[in-house]
Amino acid sequence: MLLPTKGISAQRALLSVGASILDELDSPATVSGLWERFSKRDAGQRDAQTITFDWFTLALTMLFTIGVVDWDSGDRLERINAVA
């Protein structure tokens, strides 16, 4: 699920979906707002396989788990920039 396999294409792997989510998270957003941005972008791609909301939430959960997104002071998601 995290990486592409025989049954999961590269576009549907959770790491790929998570990267696409991070591309859309250039400013803090609610989950529903981020889903709208993501689904519009996903629909505009020619050869893209449709990503459902449950797959989107799995990828979002993975991003929380690895610590690259978090809640801001309100109810919006934001990217966490790692400082080396």
- Mind giving me the DSSP string for 15-46? HHHHHHHHHH-SS-B-HHHHHHHHHHHHHH-S
Q: Cβ-count burial of 59 within 10 angstroms (0-12 exposed, 13-18 middle, 19+ buried)?
A: buried
The whole-number pLDDT of residue 4 equals: 67
Give the pLDDT confidence of 2-22 residue by residue, as tens digits.
Answer: 666 777 777 778 899 999 999
List the domain boundaries for the chain.
Answer: 15-79
The whole-number pLDDT of residue 51 equals: 87
CB 60 within 8 A of CB 24: no
- What integer is the mean pLDDT of 26-49? 83
Q: Which CATH number fits domain 15-79: 1.10.10, 2.30.30, 1.25.40, 1.10.3470?
A: 1.10.10
Give the pLDDT confidence of 45-81 residue by residue, as tens digits.
Answer: 655 568 899 999 999 999 999 999 999 888 899 999 8
Q: Which amino acid is at 19?
A: A
> What is the model's pTM?
0.82
